Amino acid sequence: MFTLAEVASLNDIQPTYRILKPWWDVFMDYLAVVMLMVAIFAGTMQLTKDQVVCLPVLQSTVNSKAQAGTSGKADVTTVETTTGQAEAASMRTVSSGSAPTVTPDVPLSRATSSQYQPTESGQALKKEQKDSSGRKTNLDFQQYVFINQMCYHLALPWYSKYFPYLALIHTIILIVSSNFWFKYPKTCSKIEHFVSILGKCFESPWTTKALSETACEDSEENKQRLTGAQSLPKHVSTSSDEGSPSASTPMITKTGFKFSAEKPVIEVPSVTILDKKDGEQAKALFEKVRKFRAHVEDSDLIYKLYVVQTVIKTVKFIFILCYTANFVNAISFEHICNPKVEHLIGYTQFECTHNMAYMLKKLLISYISLICVYGFICLYTLFWLFRIPLKEYSFEKVREESSFSDIPDVKNDFAFLLHMVDQYDQLYSKRFGVFLSEVSENKLREISLNHEWTFEKLRQHVSRNAQDKQELHLFMLSGVPDAVFDLTDLDVLKLELIPEAKIPAKISQMTNLQELHLCHCPAKVEQTAFSFLRDHLRCLHVKFTDVGEIPAWVYLLKNLRELYLIGNLNSENNKMIGLESLRELRHLKILNVKSNLTKIPSNITDVAPHLTKLVIHNDGTKLVVLNSLKKMMNVAELELQNCELERIPHAIFSLSNLQELDLKSNSIRTIEEIISFQHLKRLTCLKLWHNKIVNIPSSITHVKNLESLYLSNNKLESLPAAVFSLQKLRCLDVSYNSIAVIPIEIGLLQNLQHFHITGNKVDILPKQLFKCVKLRTLSLGQNCITSIPEKVGQLLQLTHLELKGNCLDRLPATLGQCRLLRKSGLVVEDHLFDTLPSEVKEVLNQDTSIPFANGI
């Protein structure tokens, strides 16, 4: 026999699951335990004490009444009394375990008849009644045991025999149904994870800190309202509608969270800073909550399973009540039994008593009462399940009571679990909501960030860039540390991969800041900070994936001089994604766009009147429409790189103020249009490098003002004499082509300072080359040159000479006459350098601190 503890263990759940047990589930659990005790008690009683006692119904009573009809009522009464005494004596005899006194081999009817013969005297009758204690039935003990067993199974109703076991089975089913959602694997794992996270969120120090800060902010805001709005600065709005900032306010907002620059900055009383361990645990909790929400909100299995088990319990209650109520009256103390074993016993009918009838009836009534209470609670549960949509949960009340107005509403199983928790204690959901808020997560990151990145640590990361400016580069942080804005002498600030960057009013104390980099960093700014940036920022770099990441306030920086945009400005269907209007950028001089454009954005014409430099770096997308270039009348520098251009765009010939043109990395094959450059009187620099140009037309001689010509990485095989008629040419780069001969006309370029012909097929250097006495840079590497003429010593201003990768066996000693040349500027193999005389090597090894001009 199993114990009560073993059965009750079916109702056990983990102690932490109690937060998911509403009052009705707890009450039903207690009722189930009581019903279990009733069933086990009834079963124990039945196994140990349940029995029936049967006596035969004597037919002689009827016969004696018929034979002695004239004897009077007194004789009949005596006979009936005697018969009753005999039955009682028989019952006592069976109960005591002794064999009854019977007259063997004498039929009962005959003995009875002889006992009441009218010839007997009254004294004989009284004597017989005195000697006998009851009516003799002529049955032995084994026959009584046999008939008791027979009548237990035949005369006793089945419900009287099996009620304890049925009650036990029903109760076990109800217990299993109540806790099945805690045991089913697909729901148990989710519930266990939820309870674990909920407990950690409830006990997290960050929850207490966040809610306490909310209370402090509420008290401060109330105090602020009491003092009146007159004391607020003009730029601070007292409007409570933070969700609709004015059109002039440059703010970027995210779904669910709106940061208003109009909201006054309130000093919140400091709360104890979280230690590093608590901060890391809180960060991990935010991540766990985010993943759990994504996992659980996809399905409603827990909700459906709870509804199903509640319906099963309700149907079970109705079923038990219906069939049990019919059997209450069937449990009786007395029963008539007709076993049909007259050939064994000699009697056809027996009257039996059930000794457990009274106890079982009371237990059954108690069980029905408990079932009724249980059933009504099930009905209430069903009413609660369908009264409100439990697959939706709103944190509206929490949003109203706290500053975390971005706490999202949840759905499906996540919502149902929170509804269940509310039945236990609503404080759990309130504290749990803190970890669903992006504002709360950002506050935590901000606190941890400021604790980690102190002023001293940031100072160590400040470096000087190529322009000798103090620069700070912050990469992949959760935000911008407050201490950054205490670096008042910073010139350049780079923020990269900081998605929650916020620029506060403290930036106004960084008076030296003129350059800002935002790499995948859609920074938000407060109104005061924006005012400072609008007036002081000169250079801005914005790198983005989608044009929507460009902060709106960028288009309002009226004093901005340089704007660099790097990112996707073209959609998948090849439709332009328009930039916002640039007309507010009234002082913009340089616009650099690195993207995948098919045409020049029309908004660029907004800054056309004052734009002096336009750079478009495509990723290989063909730039087709260039008509907007005609409006860039003041552009002095134009770069169209990697735009898959096949010819020089005609729109360029309208740019009368153009001084430098760079068409690098295109697919230009011919430059016959170069004659049109003669109308561009100010054009001094032409860069056609990294193309597919085969030859240079003689019409290039008409571009008389050209000072720099870059034709490297093309397919040139020769240099026409027309090139050397450009008397103002100071830089000529024809590196990495297939040129075999340097024309002798090169000596005509008396102003040539930089000549690059690296990576060609030149084998002889003409002596006329060394008539270009102003040469500072001469790159002759990776050719087939076998000797260097002695006249190289005539290049007195030479500072850089590249000879590496040729077929030289020695170097001329006249290199020592190039008084500005040093070993660091001589690019040659070591063994060739060793062929120089020692005095020349000594000259070349002198101090290299002598200043010289950069070549290019």
State yes or no: pLDDT of 530 exceeds 90: yes
Mean pLDDT of the chain: 79
Average pLDDT for residues 367-374, to the nearest whole number?
Answer: 91
777-779 and 613-618 strand pairing: unpaired
| Phi, psi of 288, deg, nearest 5 | -65, -45
* Most trustworthy range by pLDDT among 60-64, 385-389, 765-769: 765-769
Q: Which amino acid is at 515?
A: E
Q: Is the dihedral of CA 254, 258, 262, 265 positive or negative?
A: negative
Query: How many CB atoms sit inside 10 A of residue 158's CB?
Result: 11
Is position 385 within any domain?
Answer: yes
Among residues of the chain, what percentage have pLDDT more than 70? 79
What is the identity of the amino acid at 321? L
Spatial contact of 451 and 477, defined as CB atoms under 8 Å apart: no
Does residue 739 sit within a domain?
no
Q: Which residue is listed with tokens 């998948």?
A: 572
Structural domain for 366, as ranges: 4-57+155-185+309-389
- Residue 353 resides in a domain: yes
State the pLDDT at residue 274.
Answer: 62
pLDDT band at 154 (very low <50, low <70, confident <90, very high): confident
Confidence of residue 355 (pLDDT cuts 50, 70, 90): confident
Element (H, E) at 564: strand 562-568
**Average of per-residue pLDDT across 381-397:** 87
In a domain, 11, yes or no: yes
List pLDDT tens digits, range 396-445.
Answer: 888 887 777 778 888 888 889 888 888 888 888 888 888 888 877 778 87
pLDDT at residue 95 in the model = 37
What's the CA gap between 759 and 734, in Å, rounded? 9
3-state secondary structure of 560: coil
Report the pLDDT value the prediction gives residue 854, as an integer from 0 to 100.
41
Mean pLDDT of 658-678: 92
Q: Structural domain tally of the chain?
A: 1
Residues 6 or more apart from 502 whose CB is under 8 A from it?
Answer: 259, 479, 480, 523, 524, 525, 526
Residue 42 lies in a domain: yes
Q: What is the pLDDT of residue 255?
A: 36
Lowest mean pLDDT among 392-406, 554-568, 716-730: 392-406
Other beta carbons within 10 angstroms of residue 189's beta carbon come to 11
pLDDT in tens, 806-835: 999 999 999 989 989 999 999 999 999 999
Most confidently predicted of 75-89, 430-444, 568-582, 667-681? 667-681
Query: pLDDT: is 451 or 774 the higher one?
Result: 774
Distance CA 541, CA 498 (A): 15
Looking at residue 550, its pLDDT comes to 87
* Any domain includes 178: yes
Which pLDDT value is given to residue 121? 44
Q: How confident is the model at residue 771 (pLDDT cuts 50, 70, 90)?
A: very high
The single-letter code of the amino acid at 372 is C
The residue with tokens 């005195």 is 130
Contact 479, 501 (CB under 8 A): yes
pLDDT for position 321: 86
pLDDT tens digits, 465-477 = 988 999 999 999 8
Residue with tokens 């994604």: 577
Q: For residue 360, what pLDDT is reported?
A: 84
- Model pLDDT, residue 856: 37
φ/ψ of 26, rounded to 5, equals -65, -45
Whether pTM exceeds 0.75? no
**In which band, very low, low, confident or very high, does the pLDDT at 213 lie, cut at 50, 70 and 90?**
low
- Measured CA distances, 518 to 331, 413, 591 (Å): 87, 40, 16
730 phi/psi in degrees, rounded to 5 = -110, -20
pLDDT of residue 829: 93
Please report, for residues 191, 219, 281, 292, 702, the alpha-carbon distance to residue 287 in angstroms, rounded to integers and kept in the order given. Answer: 18, 31, 10, 9, 68
Inform me whether the pLDDT recorded for 229 exceeds 60: no
What does the pLDDT read at residue 758? 96
For residue 99, tell me if it sits in a domain.
Answer: no
Report whether pLDDT(111) > 80: no
32 domain-assigned: yes
Q: Note the pLDDT tens digit of each residue in 236-268.
A: 333 334 333 333 334 433 333 333 333 333 333
What does the pLDDT average to over 756-781? 94
Q: How many CB atoms lie within 10 A of CB 298?
A: 12
pLDDT of residue 263: 39
State residue 228's pLDDT score: 44
- Domain with 171 in it: what CATH number? 1.20.1440.80
Please write the tens of the pLDDT for every residue from 287-326.
888 888 888 888 888 888 999 989 999 998 898 888 887 7
* Neighbouring residues of 592: CB distance < 8 A, sequence distance ≥ 6: 562, 563, 564, 565, 613, 615, 617
Structure tokens at 428: 């759990």
pLDDT of residue 197: 85
Q: Which of 67-81, 90-104, 633-647 has the highest mean pLDDT?
A: 633-647
Provide the percentage of residues in the chain whose pLDDT is more than 90: 33
CB atoms within 10 A of CB 514: 18
